Amino acid sequence: MATRGKIIKTETPEQLRLLRPMVVRRTELLLDRSKCCGCNVCRLVCPREAISVTVGQVTDGRMTAAPVVNIDESLCSLCGECAASCPVHAYEMTVDGKPEIPVIRFEAFPNLLRANRVNQAAASASTETGYIAACPTGSISATIERDEEGHVTAVSQVEVNRRTCISCTRCMEQGPAGAFTVTKPYQGRVYLDVSLCPEGCQACADVCPSKTIRYDGARVSVDERFCIHCGACEHICPAPGAIRNERRLIMHTPIESGAWAKALDKLVSYREVSAEYDRKGQVRRRRAVVKGLLREMVE
Ligand code: SF4
Ligand code: SF4
């Protein structure tokens, strides 16, 4: 077949799909554009520089067109570094129909630690359910019982969809005490200088996937607790320097690979790459802890 071994690309405004239909290995990469926030993490880590991002459009201070990611199929090797790093789960990868990210499978890239553990006893101890609607990705479900007047009388079977949860920690902060324990993979600081914001601009709030940025009718503000350090705000901001994301740490499973060192260098500072090598001495001790976390992620 003429297409065997080559990557076939199909795209619509909603999704982009790359497929390599080998006889023994059928690899597929799917980008869900409705989840993509244009953060550029995939573009930064791609070792083939196959990814480009068109900046979202801002008109009169509002985002009028979302950022658009494109992948050049002639450059892409379907390694999966984009899928492994995406902070918002916009990518999905399968091999022969089963979820698999080759670069993780072949131990060239780590798993990001994105656990969200639910303590059912703590979650059921409260009838306050506002945190379910507050989840920015609609990732929380629960069985809710109500009386005849519609008041909540019992909450049970609280679950988090780990394929959509972006680890913003809002449920941990605003849900019942002790109900959620979230590990945030990207950590750092976000700096906002409202003196540089054009009047009435709220483009960063429009693009922010974790609803960390709010606009109160006069100016934007950031609640850093919920920031996932994607950087989408910085990319759409029409006033350079008004908002800045600084990634300082990435929580991940132990790894020793050049591919990861390069990706880390682009995503965080050189200081962090050095610190990563310093930590290698502690890797074995951490491994037991991480194994436990991973077990909980797949359960
Ligand atoms: S961490 Fe954020 S995205 Fe994940 S379930 Fe909690 S509120 Fe939703
Ligand atoms: S405030 Fe944080 S989560 Fe929101 S777009 Fe900026 S970096 Fe991303």
Structure tokens at 297: 């992620």
pTM for the whole structure: 0.88
CA of 163 to the centre of ligand 1 (A): 11
The CB-side HSE value for 119 (13 A sphere, CA atoms) comes to 14
In whole angstroms, what is the distance from residue 64 CA to residue 175 CA?
Answer: 33
Each residue's pLDDT, cut to its tens digit, for the chain (299 residues) gives 445 579 999 999 999 999 999 888 999 999 999 999 999 999 999 999 999 999 999 999 999 999 999 999 999 999 999 999 999 999 999 999 999 999 999 999 999 999 899 999 999 999 999 999 999 999 999 999 999 999 999 999 999 999 999 999 999 999 999 999 999 999 999 999 999 999 999 999 999 999 999 999 999 999 999 999 999 999 999 999 999 999 999 999 998 899 999 999 999 965 555 665 566 555 555 555 555 555 555 55
- Nearest CA residue ID for atom 8, ligand 1: 135
Reported CATH class of domain 116-181: alpha beta
CA of 137 to the centre of ligand 1 (A): 7
CA of 279 to the centre of ligand 2 (A): 28
Atom of ligand 1 nearest to the CA of 172: 6
Is the minimum distance from the CB of 228 to ligand 2 under 6 angstroms? yes
Is the minimum distance from the CB of 245 to ligand 2 under 6 angstroms? yes
DSSP E strand stretches across the chain: 8-11, 15-21, 26-32, 51-54, 57-59, 62-65, 68-71, 91-95, 98-99, 116-118, 140-146, 152-160, 180-182, 186-192, 213-215, 220-222, 243-250
In whole angstroms, what is the distance from residue 70 CA to residue 11 CA?
Answer: 9
Of the candidates 189, 186, 169, which has an alpha carbon nearest to the alpha carbon of residue 243?
Answer: 189
Q: Where in the chain is the domain with CATH 3.30.70.20?
A: 8-105
Q: What is the CATH number of domain 8-105?
A: 3.30.70.20
In whole angstroms, what is the distance from residue 215 CA to residue 167 CA?
Answer: 22
Is the minimum distance from the CB of 222 to ligand 2 under 6 angstroms? yes
CA of 277 to the centre of ligand 2 (A): 28
Eight-class DSSP state of 85: H
In whole angstroms, what is the distance from residue 122 CA to residue 176 CA?
Answer: 7
Predicted local distance difference test score (pLDDT) of residue 276: 58
